[in-house]
Amino acid sequence: MVELLLWPSLLGLLGAVIGSFLATLVIRWPEGRSVMRGRSHCDGCDVALGARDLVPLLSAALARGHCRACGVAIDGRHWQIELGCIVIGVLAGWAVPGPVGLAGAVFGWLLLALAALDIAEFWLPDALTATLAGAGVVTGVLGVAPSIGDRIIGGVGGFAVLWAIGAAYKRLRHREGLGGGDPKLLGAIGLWLGWRLLPAVVFLAALTGLAIVLAGLLRGRGAGLGDRMPFGALLAIAAYPAWLFLLGSLP
């Protein structure tokens, strides 16, 4: 029993630390502020934060969601991303204890950061997508299923198909239908999942988007064909459950 709980616990704790960093990255990177340099500080008053202020989830809870120095509300994305990374780590460690679970947690953590940026800024940074793609290639070369051949086909095919759909939409409608980062993200996801699961990922992402639109209509909010939807975020949200299914279906 102890052995069964070891990897979920370790990856959950690591997820808390990674989540704290990724939350800072998601909030500061679009604003052009440094993520790596200097001490952590309050986004409101810029006061340097001490060790007691940097414990993931716990510090914000004890401070009731406000900076102790200036009283400004702490951006909710801090605890949301930290909690998300903890859940991703626990699920990965539970589904596949060991190094493969760690690899899957990294996959989920990167997807979460990309989804958060796309939701907030409609932005999928090439550097982060390339990191996701590179990690997929490395895990494939190291022998983690699926095979490196399936991953390469998934990477090339995922990018090509979504790029072609976006190009066709632009030709027919004379405006952008997909962001330039969406095909790159699906290609990166393909380098993790292989080509067989990509149709399911795209279908689940589209279904989730449709559900969001319908929910908005039920709440009385109008929706039209011209409305923007962070499709990259939907792809990211669909991809991690697909990875869990993939690993669970392996012999």
Domain count, the chain: 2
Three-state SS at 56:
coil
| Beta-ladder partners of 48 | 41
Domain annotation covers residue 102: no
Q: Are residues 183 and 91 in the same domain?
A: no
Q: Are residues 142 and 210 in the same domain?
A: yes
Q: Are residues 63 and 138 in the same domain?
A: no
Burial bucket for residue 244 (CB in 10 Å: 0-12, 13-18, 19+): middle
Q: Are residues 77 and 153 in the same domain?
A: no
Domain annotation covers residue 116: no
Q: Are residues 146 and 86 in the same domain?
A: no
Q: Which residue has tokens 């590179």? A: 134
Instruction: Name which residue leads in pLDDT, 9 or 45.
Output: 9
Q: Are residues 161 and 218 in the same domain?
A: yes
Q: Are residues 79 and 132 in the same domain?
A: no
HSE-up (13 A, CA, CB side) for residue 82: 19
Instruction: Name which residue leads in pLDDT, 68 or 143.
Output: 143
Q: Are residues 62 and 130 in the same domain?
A: no
Share of the chain above pLDDT 70, in %: 83
pLDDT surpasses 90 at 22: yes
Domain annotation covers residue 111: no
What pLDDT does residue 222 have? 57
Q: How many CB atoms lie within 10 A of CB 27?
A: 19
Domain that holds residue 6: 1-97
Q: Which residue has tokens 């991809």? A: 239
Integer Cα distance of 243 and 23 in angstroms:
23
Average pLDDT of span 34-48: 65
Domain annotation covers residue 202: yes
Domain annotation covers residue 70: yes
Q: pLDDT by residue (tens digit) across 177-226?
A: 788 999 999 999 999 999 999 999 999 999 998 888 888 778 776 555 45
Q: Are residues 136 and 219 in the same domain?
A: yes
**Which structure tokens are listed for 87?**
């859940």
Q: Are residues 31 and 145 in the same domain?
A: no
Q: Which residue has tokens 């190291």? A: 142
Q: Are residues 35 and 140 in the same domain?
A: no
Mean pLDDT of all residues belonging to the chain? 87
